Amino acid sequence: MAGAFFVTLATDGIAPEHDAPDPEKVVSGDPRFTTWNVEESADGKLFAGIWEATPGKWRIAYEEWEYCRILSGVSIIVDETGNENTVRAGDSFLLRPGFIGTWEVVETTRKEYVIRL
């Protein structure tokens, strides 16, 4: 059920956006992104949807706050001090502003996200 104040995070009827990390950020592989941005706030500071990435590794630096829930696949997120987190289907986590490290998709990964700028 959906309505003006209840929105499901689903790809039905949402045109996907296709992208990739900036080439200078890629560490290995040829990762490709598909994003279904389901919601964007009127002020452009909150986004929610579904994101999928193919295998590869790239550098990340967060200026925003992001909540993620992994739907499928396996990824390894490593911070700049070497702390490694392997995430897979069912895992939920936050990435806070200031997080610097790498994201490596080992198996094509799909996640739900909520981003607050």
Can you give the pLDDT at residue 3?
A: 67
75 touches 66 (CB < 8 A)? no
Domains of the chain: 17-116 (2.60.120.10)
How do residues 49-95 score in pLDDT, each as one tens digit?
999 999 999 999 999 999 999 999 999 999 999 999 999 999 999 99
Total-model pTM: 0.94
CB proximity list for 41: less than 8 A, separation 6 or greater: 47
